[in-house]
Amino acid sequence: MLINNSFFNKLSPKETKFYSMLEELAFVISEISKLITESVSNYKYNESIEYFKKIKNLEKQGDKTITQIFDAFNTTFITPFDREDIHELANILDDVADYMNNAAKRIVLYHPKTIPNSAVQLGNLLIEATGCLYKAIAMLPTLKKDATEIKNCCDKLHSIENKADDVYEFFIKDLFENATDAIEIIKLKDILYELENATDAAEDAGNIIKTIIVKYA
Amino acid sequence: MLINNSFFNKLSPKETKFYSMLEELAFVISEISKLITESVSNYKYNESIEYFKKIKNLEKQGDKTITQIFDAFNTTFITPFDREDIHELANILDDVADYMNNAAKRIVLYHPKTIPNSAVQLGNLLIEATGCLYKAIAMLPTLKKDATEIKNCCDKLHSIENKADDVYEFFIKDLFENATDAIEIIKLKDILYELENATDAAEDAGNIIKTIIVKYA
Amino acid sequence: MLINNSFFNKLSPKETKFYSMLEELAFVISEISKLITESVSNYKYNESIEYFKKIKNLEKQGDKTITQIFDAFNTTFITPFDREDIHELANILDDVADYMNNAAKRIVLYHPKTIPNSAVQLGNLLIEATGCLYKAIAMLPTLKKDATEIKNCCDKLHSIENKADDVYEFFIKDLFENATDAIEIIKLKDILYELENATDAAEDAGNIIKTIIVKYA
**CB contact set of B61 (below 8 Å; sequence gap of 6+):** B28
CB contact under 8 A, B105 and A186: no
The pLDDT score that the predictor gives to residue A84 is: 79
Dist CA C77 CA B208 (whole Å)? 20
Partner-chain contact B111 A185, CB within 8 Å? no
- Write down how long chain B is: 217
- DSSP letters, B22-76, are HHHHHHHHHHHHHHHHHHHTT--HHHHHHHHHHHHHHHHHHHHHHHHHHHHHHH-
Query: Mutating which of C49, C109, C188, C194 best tests the B interface, going by the most B Cβ atoms within 10 A?
Result: C109
Residues of A in contact with B105 (CB under 8 A): 169
How many residues belong to chain A? 217
Q: What is the pLDDT of residues B143-160, one digit of tens each?
A: 889 999 999 999 999 999
Confidence of residue C81 (pLDDT cuts 50, 70, 90): low
Give the whole-number percent of chain B exceeding pLDDT 90. 75
Q: B107 to chain A nearest CA, in Å?
A: 10
pLDDT per residue, tens digit, chain A (217 aa), is: 344 444 444 556 666 788 899 999 999 999 999 999 999 999 999 999 999 999 999 999 999 999 888 877 767 665 666 777 888 899 999 999 999 999 999 999 999 999 999 999 999 999 999 999 999 999 998 988 999 999 999 999 999 999 999 999 999 999 999 999 999 999 999 999 999 999 999 999 999 999 888 887 7
**Cα–Cα distance, C202 to C93 (Å, whole number):** 7
Are C78 and C1 in contact by the 8 Å Cβ rule? The answer is no
Mean pLDDT, rounded, of chain C: 90
User: What's the ipTM?
Assistant: 0.84
| CA separation for the pair B140, B92 (Å, rounded) | 16
In tens, the pLDDT along B101-159 reads: 999 999 999 999 999 999 999 999 999 999 999 999 999 989 889 999 999 999 999 99
Look at A109 and C215 and tell me if their CB atoms are within 8 Å. no
Residue B109 Cα distances to A134, A176, B99, B100, angstroms = 33, 8, 15, 14
Say which of C169, C177, C186 has its CB closest to residue A186.
Answer: C186
The percentage of chain C sitting over the pLDDT mark of 70, rounded to a whole number, equals 89
Check whether B5 has a pLDDT greater than 60.
no
pLDDT digits (tens, 9 = 90+) for C7-27: 444 556 666 788 899 999 999
- A138 to chain B, closest Cα gap in Å: 25
Using a CB–CB cutoff of 8 Å, tell me whether C187 touches chain B. yes
Find all residues with CB under 8 Å of C101, minimum gap 6, and list them: C32, C55, C56, C59
Taking CA atoms, what residue in A is nearest to B185?
A182
Question: How sure is the predictor about C84, in pLDDT bands with cuts at 50, 70 and 90?
Answer: confident
Q: What is the pTM of this model?
A: 0.89
Instruction: Please give the residue of chain A at the shortest CA–CA distance from B112.
Output: A176
Q: How far is CA B164 from CA A179, B45, B157, in A?
A: 32, 24, 10
